[in-house]
């Protein structure tokens, strides 16, 4: 059965979820010899042809190669890794880490007994460090293609018929490749803001935000989700006056727990970022030297003008299917541009599957990876599994924010009776010795069974710590299970244990 809308997945459900969020995974090495450089043989039919070499596509290609399938992967960027590796997850984290180090040296090291002289930003060198990281990782993906006998075709693919993909090669010329099975993994693109033309200079998306050549004096971020807050944080640390305009009444998007969102906003405000919540952007003008943004209250009200040197549009992402030739095979998308699939990722044409951002579910790289493995397992073994109730989300600001499972507002809306426990990092010995005590761990469990329903963290290393929460939810652990598990001392993870203790009984150190 095919669908355009999917109900929220319960734990261990295998069908993709309809919940969609914004988010944010190369240079290439040509194969030796013309015959190995991306010229597919029309005579040979592949077991699997993958359109798209992003996280979903390249993971599927490697998994299929490991399974002994004859695989070809078509990627038009000329570099594997897709948005995440090239202009998203990876480069943004490089800038987040290095801008944090700069900000810490400026504002924090004196409290640690470290005195430094004049500190300056060398933006060119910072960008080079980012590019070096990306280059190393993308070369690694190409190596894995070679290792697993995946044919890498550099070009733009489009359906000629249900088994044939026509490819316009980057090097020039055309070819075709036939596949017994085809996997669509074309990813997503930034959703443009109506009335503002993206030029990646004054009006930018996340792609432009990781490539600016100078620090803007003023930046307006349209959208207070993860991408907007991460990139706004980078440029705020480097000296820009950043104002975030968000239509909703909280930052972080609807998935972030309201209490966590409120605390995170306070922290980011102390770091210098400004916020205008419950505010909508009505129009923008980029004709002059800078950009002027017109805003008003979300429910209507007095208009306010915001001037900026750069405006970052971070209102979400949308599936990318342009030029794919879906009309040639009769495949359609739903009202949000997503390819419609069944529980085994099949479209209505049984040998054509779709995974990642181009279809249902949160637009997260790790979700796409899980689907890639599951899709190949369905193809080779007849079964696969992704638990959509245990997909973590992380925002890499400082402190980090991470969560998995349900938040309080969702539980209240569903009428679920629950218990809540929390523990502040200010009471954690390792956080105190690190002088990094902002935030807390919050745990939600079923009031009757104590089964963990959701975990929400704002604090140091939240992105790493949430893995324990994912494992707990995956295996149906109770808060008491976690509380009775020994955690090394002194570690930040003890805050996780104490939050579990506070959920089913009482914390010891707070």
Residues annotated within the binding site are 93, 157, 186-188, 223-230, 246, 316, 357, 363-366
Rounded CA separation 375/383 (Å): 9
Q: What radius of gyration, in Å, describes the C-alpha atoms of the chain?
A: 24
Cβ burial of 440 (10 Å; 0-12, 13-18, 19+) is: buried
Rounded CA separation 280/226 (Å): 18
Rounded CA separation 305/302 (Å): 10
Rounded CA separation 320/306 (Å): 31
Binding residues for FAD: 93, 157, 186-188, 357, 363-366
Residue 270 token pair? 């102390």
Q: Which residues of 225-260 are buried (b: 16+ CB within 10 A; e: fewer)?
A: bbbbbbbbbbbbbbbbbbbbbbebebbbbebbbbbb
Rounded CA separation 481/321 (Å): 45
Q: What is the DSSP letter of 93?
A: H
DSSP string across 304-346: EEEEESEEEE-S-EEE--TTS-GGGTT--B-TTSPBP--TTSB
Question: Which residues are CB-neighbours of 468 under 8 A, at least 6 positions away?
Answer: 482, 493, 496
Q: What is the DSSP letter of 359?
A: S
Counted residue by residue, the chain has a size of 510
Catalytic option among 107, 385, 489, 509: 489
Q: Where are the alpha helices (DSSP H) in 382-423?
A: 408-414
Binding residues for NAD(+): 223-230, 246, 316
Q: What is the dihedral of CA 344, 349, 352, 354, to 10 degrees?
A: -60
Residue 351 annotated to the active site: no
H or E element: which one contains 147? Answer: helix 123-147
Residues known to be catalytic: 489
């Amino acid at each position: 059965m095919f669908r355009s809308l999917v109900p929220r997945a319960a734990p261990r459900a295998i069908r993709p979820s309809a919940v969609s969020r914004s988010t944010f995974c190369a240079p290439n090495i040509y194969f030796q010899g013309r015959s190995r450089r991306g010229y597919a043989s029309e005579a040979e039919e592949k077991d699997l042809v993958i359109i798209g070499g992003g996280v979903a596509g390249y993971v599927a290609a490697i998994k299929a190669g490991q399974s002994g399938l004859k695989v070809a992967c078509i990627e038009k960027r000329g570099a594997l890794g897709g948005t995440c590796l090239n202009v998203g997850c990876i480069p943004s984290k490089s800038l987040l880490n290095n801008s944090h180090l700069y900000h810490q040296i400026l504002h924090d090291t004196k409290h640690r007994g470290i005195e430094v002289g004049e500190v300056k930003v060398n933006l060119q060198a910072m960008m080079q460090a980012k590019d070096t990281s990306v280059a190393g990782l993308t070369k690694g993906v190409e190596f894995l293609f070679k290792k697993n006998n995946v044919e890498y075709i550099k070009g733009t693919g489009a359906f000629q018929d249900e088994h044939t993909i026509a490819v316009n090669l980057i090097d020039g010329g055309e070819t075709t490749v036939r596949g017994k099975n085809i996997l669509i993994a074309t990813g997503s693109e930034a959703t443009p803001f109506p009335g503002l033309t993206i030029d990646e200079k004054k009006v930018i998306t996340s792609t432009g935000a990781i490539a600016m050549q100078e620090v803007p004096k003023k930046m307006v971020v349209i959208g207070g989700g993860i991408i907007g807050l991460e990139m706004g944080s980078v440029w705020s640390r480097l000296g820009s006056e950043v104002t975030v305009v968000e239509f909703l009444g909280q930052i972080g998007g609807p998935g972030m727990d309201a209490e966590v969102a409120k605390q995170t906003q306070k922290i980011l405000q102390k770091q210098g970022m400004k916020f205008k919540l419950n505010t909508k952007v009505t129009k923008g003008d980029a004709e002059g030297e800078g950009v002027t943004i017109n805003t008003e209250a979300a429910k209507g009200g007095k208009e306010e003008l915001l001037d900026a040197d750069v405006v970052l549009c971070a209102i979400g992402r949308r599936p990318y299917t342009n030029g794919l030739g879906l009309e040639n095979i009769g495949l359609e998308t739903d009202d949000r541009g997503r390819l419609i699939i069944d529980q085994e990722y099949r479209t209505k044409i049984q040998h054509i599957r779709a995974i990642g951002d181009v279809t249902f579910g949160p637009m997260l790289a790790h979700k796409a990876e899980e689907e890639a493995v599951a899709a190949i397992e369905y193809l080779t073994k007849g079964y696969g599994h992704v638990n959509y109730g245990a997909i973590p989300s992380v925002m890499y600001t400082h402190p980090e924010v991470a969560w998995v499972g349900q938040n309080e507002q969702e539980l209240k809306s569903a009428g679920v009776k629950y218990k809540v426990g929390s523990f502040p990092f200010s009471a954690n010995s390792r956080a105190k010795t690190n002088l990094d005590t902002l935030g807390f761990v919050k745990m939600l469990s079923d009031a009757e069974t104590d089964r963990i329903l959701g975990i929400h963290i704002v604090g140091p290393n939240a992105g790493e710590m949430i893995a324990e929460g994912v494992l707990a939810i995956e295996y149906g652990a109770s808060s008491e299970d976690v509380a009775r598990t020994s955690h090394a001392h002194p570690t930040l993870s003890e805050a996780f244990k104490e939050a579990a203790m506070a959920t089913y009984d009482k914390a010891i150190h707070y």
